[in-house]
Structure 1
């Protein structure tokens, strides 16, 4: 039995030894193969800095408003007699929209006309009296100078009273004309807040809302607030394009017609207005538009790929290669396009910059393998 155990133990030790030898040899072979495989060489992409014109656009929200829009109110206290227009009615300039009635104005007009006729009669009488006295006074000793002066004063007084009566009559006539509400310009009625029989007036209940709201839709204003950083790119007659949500597949164009010339103190932006022709009525006042404002640079600047700009906690940098070493150069950024951005700093045309930068490329670190690519 002891012999059998010894034989089994010897066989076991032999198999374990063979296994260990095989593992050791395989590991050695693997290490040799790894040593034989060439190491991968990673190159750093660089480009030569050159000046170029950066053409890009920014998208700014804008609003379409009516070129002309007015709220129409009642000038005198009255009642609505008849309506001639409603919401959606297209009207012409001077067209009557509503008529009102105010019986007291009719009574005032009748009284003013009576007073006017009375003053006209008094003036005609005093004028005739003065004319007769003046003709008679041509014969010496017939009419005293005092009587002639009194007659002339009476004529002038009656004339003044007549002019006053005429002014009062015109005022009442003008108030009566206010009983007819007419369109100040051609457009479409967008709101109506009255009905037949309603009381309207310049004050009190019924005056808080306009009778009608009239808007001119044939021509619209596109209003945009341009941020301060981009105001230099927008000038009079500059062309812009815009879209609206209701017509996503259609692009509209307009040109800048008016610039505010100052920044809004709250938004720090300049108001710009573009005139938009809308004869087909596709666009409506109140629509929100997405406006594409071109940012075309007049002079060439340094524009680099966005990947070449390093935004670190210490600031904004580009990395320049000087004598095979990385040099962090602080810069300021300007306008941007889809893949490039303007940079301003201690850089010159012909400098070699790293195209893709990270904070792992330390300042003054050595850059051995460089691969020059186009900017």
Structure 2
């Protein structure tokens, strides 16, 4: 039986069908590859950390530095007993205004009184002995002139007279010492002020010159006060003559008081790293109290070289304080900076930054030098910190 051969038309149609099928398969594979590449590129881009940036701003007007401080009276004295005895009476209690020389209390000193009487009696005795010795010495000098006694004996009488005069001087000094102590039986205010403490009462035994003895009274002059402010070493240069500070105290919320610089310790305390500055405070209405805790507001001079950034931009690592900068190629550079002033939510930087730097805000903890990052669509590199 003869074999039927395909017609030429049929062969042409089959070839075209196969070609079309190949084109369709090839296009599909190419489209699939392109889509896969796009997905991979999108995934890679989304895997990059997204950051927001800003430019450092000029520090602008200097801020106040808030520091703890305390107030002390312009003058303050603890009154101790100089003589022993019993408290006979006190005349002023705490809160009383006193004047210079005003009597605060009287001490009864029977032992001292007896010692003074004995000293006065010894003085009289010494004076009598000195008078007799002097009379005897004069007589022996007259006898020596007539050669009735030996010169040795006359010289002895003269020496006795001189010794008697020395005994008189010693007795007078002892008597004057006890008389001076008698004056301390009365306790007096050393200056005008207010009695801020009384630690004794009538009949109490008073021990003089006792190292463990408590003060009997305390007097303070509160018409003026001293404000002491420990200034950190970094800001010691801000303390200068003519400086005025404001301060507040807890018992007067919302009220600011003012003080003028009067001096400083001129040395940094090695234990605290601070310079103690003293300011003079007027207190005409007695609103401020000695011993008050205060918060002083120290004005700082403006530094044009400083730049301001938010504290959220800082990175704390083993290499010290750093910030993350973004370069023009989207890569990170970690830059060490120096903090000139910490204002809490803001920092003033004096080393390590330029105004043109693009600083990353809230950098991720894992961010490393050279990492590639992507700036968010809402990136604020034009925003001033």
Band the TM-score falls in, shorter-chain normalisation:
0.7 to 0.9
**Structure 2: runs of 5 or more not aligned:** 1-49
- Counterpart CA distance in 2 for 1:121 and 1:284 is 60
Partner of residue 41, structure 2: none
Partner of residue 252, structure 1: 257
- Counterpart CA distance in 2 for 1:182 and 1:44 is 72
Give 1:61-100 correspondences, 5 Å limit: 61-100=68-107
The TM-score with structure 2 as length reference comes to: 0.72
Partner of residue 217, structure 2: 212
| Residues 228 and 270, structure 1, Cα contact 8 Å, conserved in 2 | yes
- Counterpart CA distance in 1 for 2:65 and 2:152 is 88
Partner of residue 236, structure 2: 231
Match of 1:179 among 172, 185, 196: 185
- Is 1:115 aligned to residue 122 of structure 2? yes
Determine helix, strand or coil for the equivalent of 2:306.
Answer: strand
Residue 103 of structure 1, CA deviation: 2.0
Distance 1:302 1:286, change over 3 A: closer
Partner of residue 285, structure 1: 290
| Residues 307 and 353, structure 2, Cα contact 8 Å, conserved in 1 | no
Residue 231 of structure 1, CA deviation: 3.1
Residue 149 of structure 1, CA deviation: 0.6
Distance 1:117 1:342, change over 3 A: same
Determine helix, strand or coil for the equivalent of 1:55.
Answer: coil
Give 1:8-27 correspondences, 5 Å limit: none
Q: Which moved more, 1:319-328 or 1:275-284?
A: 319-328
The TM-score with structure 1 as length reference comes to: 0.74
Partner of residue 304, structure 1: 308
Q: Which moved more, 1:154-163 or 1:332-341?
A: 332-341
Distance 1:132 1:322, change over 3 A: farther
- Counterpart CA distance in 1 for 2:51 and 2:293 is 49
- The structure richer in strand per residue is 1
Distance 1:231 1:364, change over 3 A: farther
| Residues 46 and 354, structure 1, Cα contact 8 Å, conserved in 2 | yes
Partner of residue 160, structure 1: 166
**Structure 1: runs of 5 or more not aligned:** 1-41
Match of 2:156 among 126, 150, 154: 150
Residue 292 of structure 1, CA deviation: 0.9
